[in-house]
Amino acid sequence: MEIYEIKEDILSRNNERAKEVRALLDEKGVYYVNLMSSPGAGKTTLLSKLIPRLAKDFRIGIIEADIDSDKDAQTIERETGVRVIQIHTGGACHMTCQMSLEALEALGTDGLDLIFLENIGNLVCPAEFDTGSDMNLVLLSVPEGDDKPLKYPLMFEVAHAVAITKLDVSEIFDFSPENAVKNIKKRNGNAEIFFTSAMKDDGIDELELYIRNEASRKIHKINNR
């Protein structure tokens, strides 16, 4: 069918572009993390917690993608003091790799070690478009329910790590961490899973350590080339 061929063509061009982005970031020694989740799952709050910890050892840049508004960019900049740029996708429901590349160029990769992209809040479309990131970090918030990996399969298939967020309200929402893990594993046996509550500062250290180790490993490897 015509529409699907067009879509495949778009996706195949996107994948080619993702290879270019990876080559560029490898050359610069930059580690790139793509945060994805439903609207309001806590991407901005988690970043506000992670960045002050990681900023002790990494030079960090942030790309905030939104359809409209620059509220998150303002929040992150105010709370962390790191360099943030705001991308408006013009109605689009995801970041393409071309948008990702333009955002990286606008942010400037020189002198940075670690870049976070806060993608559009959407559990479907962003999963289809490789942004050229080293890590896909997917958030699943407790109020959404532990069944979401069953209903939004691709997002959990492309995740390198899943952070369950807002765990402090799991009893109010009848959310079972065991079921969540079981449902994530059904989609992806390799994803690292973290249990976090930004409110209580739970699990943030573990997630920070994971990102720190992954980023250090890449940067170390590049520096020793």
Task: Examine residue 91 and tell whether it contacts its own copies (CB under 8 A).
Answer: yes
Q: Could you give the CA distance from residue 86 to residue 65 in angstroms, rounded to a whole number?
A: 6
Quick check: 96 and 125 in contact, CB under 8 A?
Answer: no
Count of CB atoms situated within 10 Å of the CB of 65? 26
Task: Examine residue 71 and tell whether it contacts its own copies (CB under 8 A).
Answer: yes
* Residue of the chain from 144, 162, 184, 195 that contacts its own copies (CB under 8 A): 144
Binding residues among 169-188 for its own copies as defined by CB under 8 A? 169, 172
Would you say 18 or 114 has its CB closer to its own copies? 18
Does an H or E element contain 195, and which?
Answer: strand 192-195
Q: Which stretch binds its own copies (CB under 8 A): 19-27, 35-43, 54-62, 76-84?
A: 35-43
Sheet holding 114-118, edge to edge: 83-88, 60-66, 114-118, 31-36, 135-141, 161-165, 192-195
Q: Could you give the CA distance from residue 60 to residue 56 in angstroms, rounded to a whole number?
A: 10
* Residue of the chain from 17, 160, 166, 212 that contacts its own copies (CB under 8 A): 166
Task: Examine residue 93 and tell whether it contacts its own copies (CB under 8 A).
Answer: yes
In the complex, the residues that contact its own copies under the rule CB under 8 A are: 3, 6, 10, 38-40, 66-69, 71-72, 91, 93, 120-125, 141, 143-145, 147-148, 150-154, 166, 169, 172
